[in-house]
Amino acid sequence: MRMITNYFIAPHPALKLFIANYILSTSDEKHVKFKSFWPASAETGLIFHLADRPEHITNDSSKLKNLQNKNSCLIGVLSNFNGIFSFSGIYRRFTIQFKANGFYKLFGMPFSEFSNKIFSLDEVFGKSAMLLQEQLVDEKELSQMADYADKFLLAFLNRQKSQYAVLDGITAISNKFNEDLSLSNITRYAEKANMSVRNFERRFIEQVGISPKLYSRLLRFNNAIITRLKHPESNWTSIAYECGYYDQMHMIKDFKQFANLNPSNLLQPNTDFTRPLIDVTNSNLETWRRLTSNLPYEKFVPVQRFIH
């Protein structure tokens, strides 16, 4: 029986430089109960809990603020293991999912200030975020929810300085990281961005939140988990090489740093845990179909949008 359905829909065309997807995750008014490991993640977004709220159990080494008691929040890039995400109740969550440096480009705020942190949205955006929360709670139609999110974000875009809201070297390179997970020499990326290595790393940290090397490692780690979820029959050695690791020991080192577990323990079947909290929505249709087929408790549904 499916527990959670993830519907995802595109943002307004003017926002596509900054936003990857809007996502509505819902249990369709049914009571569900689950828990997940919350490993490090390169995913960033604005989260709106529209029904019951989760419980967040942090571990001793986590520097992350607790997720509890926040109806809406901003989650920055997370480069550490963040404990356990536990939920019991009616699950209904709306997510505005940013591209790599989309937050910085849209709002002009250094994203390094938000890394490994959770902020209530009213701390960052004030009353406008609370209005959006109220609109989303009362709305049932995903297309209208997307319209509300568009209006909220376009108001910031229209006030933004033009130098932020353009395609630049960091934007182009950070978006290519998903295509090349082999931890290529940072010097090559700096040259492609027309910058010195020092300037490239400084601006990358400012816009994306962490260094380019760490960001690439997080994407590779994330991709290894998705690959295993797509192909549960594959062994971890083949996954390590497929995802660009030098060998399996390098992959295990990343899993211990980012998830506090070995690969086999993180995705161990027949436990009380669902899949780890990682970004699986910023993928392609083939990935969504496979995950829907392989995960008995979750499915992924793209929704076509018509903007007049």
Measured distance CA(305)–CA(308) in Å, rounded: 10
Number of domains in the chain: 1
CB 176 within 8 A of CB 99: no
- What is the reported pLDDT for 176? 74
* Burial of 73 (C-beta count, 10 Å sphere; 0-12/13-18/19+): buried
- What is the reported pLDDT for 221? 92
Asked if residue 140 is part of any domain, the answer here is yes
Asked if residue 241 is part of any domain, the answer here is no
Asked if residue 206 is part of any domain, the answer here is no
- What is the reported pLDDT for 257? 93
20 vs 46, 100, 103, 287, 292, CA distance in Å? 12, 9, 11, 16, 20
What is the b/e burial string over 222-237, where b = at least 16 CB atoms within 10 angstroms of the residue's CB? bbbbbbbbbeeeeebe
The encoded tokens of residue 138 equal 């009362």
- What's the average pLDDT block by block, 10 residues per block, for the chain (308 residues)? 83 93 94 89 93 79 60 92 89 94 92 92 93 96 96 90 62 74 72 87 93 91 89 91 89 93 76 71 68 78 82
- What is the reported pLDDT for 60? 56
Q: Which domain holds residue 113?
A: 4-161+273-302
Of 66, 156, 170, residue with least CA distance to 118? 66
Asked if residue 215 is part of any domain, the answer here is no
Q: What is the pTM for the complete model shown?
A: 0.90
- What is the reported pLDDT for 52? 93
Asked if residue 265 is part of any domain, the answer here is no
- What is the reported pLDDT for 277? 77
Asked if residue 156 is part of any domain, the answer here is yes
Asked if residue 193 is part of any domain, the answer here is no
- What is the reported pLDDT for 294? 73
The encoded tokens of residue 180 equal 């090349």
Of 244, 247, 188, 189, residue with least CA distance to 221? 244
Asked if residue 99 is part of any domain, the answer here is yes
Q: Which residues pair with 45 in a beta bridge?
A: 75, 97
